[in-house]
Amino acid sequence: MTIDKDLLSILACPETKKDLEAADQDVIDRINAAIAAGKVRNRAQEKVTEPIDGGLFRVGDRGSVYPIRENIPVLLVEELILLDGII
């Protein structure tokens, strides 16, 4: 899944205000496999059960990713998917 470059250029992390960059499909596939295996939690420590269509990293930070679902970036800090041991 690709995100429109114009949209990506105006998005920022609501917590740090850093720019965001799209995760590549290999990373999304690995995250979705971990979601299917029940191994993924979000920042609110809730188990993530729905696969994602894409993801957005904070520039310079590959430890968590904002999910993209149905082509909509979910930029809520509590929805950040924690990637410890996933990628």
Please state the pTM of the whole predicted model: 0.92
pLDDT 10s per residue in the chain (87 long)?
678 888 889 999 999 999 999 999 999 999 999 999 999 999 999 999 999 999 999 999 999 999 999 989 999 999 999 998 888
Q: What is the DSSP letter of 4?
A: -
Residue 51: how many CA atoms within 13 Å on its side-chain side? 11
